[in-house]
Amino acid sequence: MGPLTVWPVTGLPEVRAGDDLAGLIARALGADPLRDRDVVVVAQKIVSKAEGRVIALSSVEPSARARQMAEEAGRDPRVMELVLRESRSIVRFERGVLIAETHHGFVCANAGVDRSNAGAPDAVVLLPLDPDASAARLRAELGDRSGADVAVVVTDTFGRAWREGHVNVAIGVAGMLALKRYAGQFDPDGYELRVTEIALADEVAAAAELVMGKLDRCPVAVVRGLELPGSDETAQTYVRPKEKDLFR
Amino acid sequence: MGPLTVWPVTGLPEVRAGDDLAGLIARALGADPLRDRDVVVVAQKIVSKAEGRVIALSSVEPSARARQMAEEAGRDPRVMELVLRESRSIVRFERGVLIAETHHGFVCANAGVDRSNAGAPDAVVLLPLDPDASAARLRAELGDRSGADVAVVVTDTFGRAWREGHVNVAIGVAGMLALKRYAGQFDPDGYELRVTEIALADEVAAAAELVMGKLDRCPVAVVRGLELPGSDETAQTYVRPKEKDLFR
């Protein structure tokens, strides 16, 4: 395995609903064209914006439940209403923190509803309705424009159950393996490997975050040099079925 | 921020107790010398081996509790005994899976006790006693040899509460920030950022894993190009205090 290169794609404009995101990314890539097996990593926020998943808070009528929870947590009842709408279930609601399972099956704070960097005052950004479909669409469009067979990972930053700090993870995947599998493989002494599945696209997301940054409007990065077998896996690969989950 | 480069360091021999690990790494780096701000990422397993944290199972006398738990989980009672010794507390023990809090404060499967790639049959590898101290020592020794001010991250692959697959994380950190903090910073519309702390060293560990691989004996990688302010933070920065933890 050779070296991996990860670089930020700079110069994207503020993204608006209906924008041609693949076109904007292709333009921002500039003189350095994409190559086969490049992974284009795109922050969820600009995908959501392009797909119109920005909600004006003035348009939101909070339910009684949202009002009550918002009061308990000291938060905006309209935001709480959106969090509830985006949630399949509430995993924890304690000390002002709400950990939810989204309709996609991801477990994260506030079901991914985020008021920061919404591009407008009094607005919030929701996760894409189907981030895997968003990734697949971007992959096809970037492929058409570049002639290269690229992969796309759509990311968000999630907290962890027992560790401080957030990390970037894959919420949409197209064109690459989500899990690198070692099951049934043995070490030189004949023992089966303990860790049998590595979350490859999550690690790609983490690597990309190192160059992306939250304040300098750099929501796209490219990872080059991965040895990627073709795959139809999506980020749904990461969704642990409830019956296998010890913490839900 | 410029591009980041991540490459594997190949050609390390099997590491044994008492080996000069910094010397082995320096030799394996070969013609490409380290530079200031490079991060040398080292898999826990070779650190543990060099530090003699490999235990022959024949030397382990399981307690009654370990025997009972091993029977319940269908596992080796001597391995279970080591897992219990390495644990400060058991977070979950269900369906044959044991999630423990280690004496360092990390929450992971089997308290990091691992039978694969132990370098000898019927042996297991324990986590380093103090991975931050291991990182600091390697940092000093690699600095002495190269003349460069490098950072060192010691890593292990951990599972996640609600996501399939494992990712590489930092269990020892020296010479770099563990958390990149955005607290008190605001987006262009004046809202305070939601995600205020990014687990930088964990993301470095994840990026490095992409080139390391579990079967091809490549337990070291270098990450070059990070803009790293100096820091005394350690991997203890990631240990969430119990009173802040919603899932313990």
Closest CA to A151 of A173, A169, A134, A130: A173
Residue A231 and residue A181 share a domain: yes
Average pLDDT in the B7-28 region?
Answer: 95
At B132, is the pLDDT very low, low, confident or very high (cuts 50, 70, 90)?
A: very high
Pairing status of strand B39-43 against strand B151-158: parallel
Q: State how far residue A145 is from chain B, nearest Cα, in angstroms.
A: 23
pLDDT at A215 > cutoff 60: no
CATH at residue B96: 3.90.1660.10
Residue A179 and residue A153 share a domain: yes
Q: Which of the listed residues B65, B92, B124 is the one where a domain comes to its end?
A: B124
What is the pLDDT at residue A30? 87
pLDDT at A214 > cutoff 70: no
Tokens 């939250």, residue located: A214
Q: State how far residue B176 is from chain A, nearest Cα, in angstroms.
A: 13
Residue A247 lies in a domain: no
Residue A67 lies in a domain: yes
Residue A163 and residue A215 share a domain: yes
Cβ <8 Å between B114 and A194: yes
Average pLDDT in the A114-123 region?
Answer: 87
What is the pLDDT at residue B41? 98
A166 CB neighbours in chain B (<8 A) are 195, 197-199
Residue B68 and residue B16 share a domain: no
What is the pLDDT at residue B141? 98
pLDDT digits (tens, 9 = 90+) for A66-112: 999 999 999 999 999 999 999 999 999 998 889 999 999 999 999 99
Residue A198 and residue A133 share a domain: yes
Closest CA to B168 of B155, B154, B180, B151: B155
CATH at residue A163: 3.30.1330.100
Residue B83 lies in a domain: yes
What is the pLDDT at residue B166? 96
Residue A133 and residue A29 share a domain: yes
Q: Which of the listed residues B107, B124, B141 is the one where a domain comes to its end?
A: B124
Residue B195 and residue B117 share a domain: no
pLDDT at A31 > cutoff 90: no
Q: Measuring CA to CA, how many Å separate A105 from each of A131, A242, B224?
A: 12, 10, 35
Residue B200 lies in a domain: yes
Q: State how far residue A208 is from chain B, nearest Cα, in angstroms.
A: 8
pLDDT at A175 > cutoff 90: yes
What is the pLDDT at residue B90? 96
Residue A224 and residue A102 share a domain: no
d(CA B124, CA B114): 6
Residue A225 and residue A191 share a domain: yes
- Give every CB contact of residue A129 below 8 A, 6+ residues apart in sequence: A51, A53
Average pLDDT in the B224-244 region?
Answer: 92
- Give every CB contact of residue B28 below 8 A, 6+ residues apart in sequence: B9, B10, B11, B12, B220
Closest CA to A209 of B164, B226, B160: B226
pLDDT at A211 > cutoff 80: yes
At A157, is the pLDDT very low, low, confident or very high (cuts 50, 70, 90)?
A: very high
Residue B173 and residue B229 share a domain: yes
Residue B248 lies in a domain: no
| Interface size, chain A vs chain B, as Cβ–Cβ contacts under 8 Å | 244
What is the pLDDT at residue B137? 98
pLDDT digits (tens, 9 = 90+) for A5-15: 999 999 999 99
What is the pLDDT at residue B36? 96
Residue B191 and residue B209 share a domain: yes
pLDDT at B195 > cutoff 80: no
Among positive and negative, which fits the CA dihedral B232, B234, B240, B242? negative
- Counting the structural domains of chain A, the total is 2
| Residue bearing the bigger pLDDT, A243 or B201 | B201
Residue A174 lies in a domain: yes
Considering only the beta carbons, identify the residue of A91, A94, A214 that sits closest to B193: A214
Among positive and negative, which fits the CA dihedral A128, A133, A135, A138? negative
Residue A200 lies in a domain: yes
Identify the three-state secondary structure at position A131: helix
Three-point CA angle B29, B119, A188, nearest 5°: 90
Interface predicted TM-score of the whole assembly (ipTM), two decimals: 0.95
Q: Which of the listed residues B102, B124, B146 is the one where a domain comes to its end?
A: B124
Half-sphere exposure of B206 (CA within 13 A, CB side): 29
Residue B97 lies in a domain: yes
Residue B188 and residue B228 share a domain: yes
Number of H helices, E strands in chain B: 6, 12
pLDDT at B188 > cutoff 90: no
What is the pLDDT at residue B215? 57
Strand order of the β-sheet with A39-43 is A167-174, A151-158, A39-43, A220-224, A4-8, B4-9, B220-224, B39-43, B151-158, B167-174
Interface mutation vs chain A, best among B116, B180, B211, most A CBs within 10 Å: B116
d(CA B63, CA B46): 29
At B67, is the pLDDT very low, low, confident or very high (cuts 50, 70, 90)?
A: very high
The beta strands (E) that lie in A52-186 are given as 54-56, 87-94, 97-102, 107-109, 123-125, 151-158, 167-174, 179-181
Q: Are B53 and B128 in contact (CB under 8 A)?
A: yes
Percentage, residues of chain A above pLDDT 90: 80
Considering only the beta carbons, identify the residue of A1, A197, A209 that sits closest to B165: A197
Structural domain span for residue B79: 55-124
What is the pLDDT at residue B216? 62
Phi, psi angles (nearest 5°) of residue A215: -105, -20
When the pLDDT of each residue in chain B is averaged and rounded to a whole number, the result is 93
What is the pLDDT at residue B1? 67
Asked if A74 reaches chain B (Cβ–Cβ under 8 Å), the answer is: no
d(CA B96, CA B90): 13
At B20, is the pLDDT very low, low, confident or very high (cuts 50, 70, 90)?
A: very high
d(CA B223, CA B173): 14
